[in-house]
Amino acid sequence: MTEPFIRPARAEDEGDLARLDRETWSHEFAVMPRPGPDEPFFRETCGPDAHLVAEHDGRLVGYVRLGRPTPLECNEHVRDIRGLAVAEEARGRGAGRALVRAAVAEARRRGARRITLRVLGHNTAARALYASEGFAVEGVLPGEFLLDGVYADDVLMGRPLV
């Protein structure tokens, strides 16, 4: 697989992103319930401008959602990776890394001094990716989520952008 093309999401990506979200959903990665077949991907609080997408050979193979951790003015300098998904066929081939790097660059472009994220403790592949891109564990909430009858840690990670 060649390097994926990263670009801002567009409104017309809605169907492909919703499909990708349904296909990649698992409690390995997500605490939210499985998206329904008619559930919209874009929401009032996170539209296309909150997403970057990865394309390979004209097919959308991943996305990253970037937002603010809080609406407080005193927290304006921080951006948060609020979601990352990569299609099964693109995993381990650089799409996730390209999306993380693009999110870091976009956060800088938007004036952020810091970027954070939350990842499930058992998601070792994602944790290794984030660590390799300069994110450090800044806290762990043990047993924060009960997913399919198993308690999962919520790992808080972050890195400076300056």
- What are the pLDDT digits (tens) for 95-106? 999 999 999 999
Cβ neighbours of residue 54 under 8 Å, at least 6 residues apart? 4, 5, 6, 60, 61, 62, 63, 86, 90, 95, 98, 99
- Mean pLDDT of the 74-84 span: 97
Q: Is the dihedral of CA 42, 134, 144, 95 positive or negative?
A: positive
Cα–Cα dist 123/5, whole Å: 25
User: Against a cut of 0.75, is the pTM above it?
Assistant: yes
Pairing of strands 59-67, 51-56: antiparallel
The mean pLDDT of 33-50, rounded to a whole number, is 92
pLDDT tens digit sequence for 10-40: 999 999 999 999 999 998 889 999 999 999 9
Q: In the chain, pLDDT over 70 holds for what percent of residues?
A: 99
Please report the pLDDT score of residue 133 as a whole number.
98
Segment 83-108 mean pLDDT:
95
Higher pLDDT, 20 or 2: 20
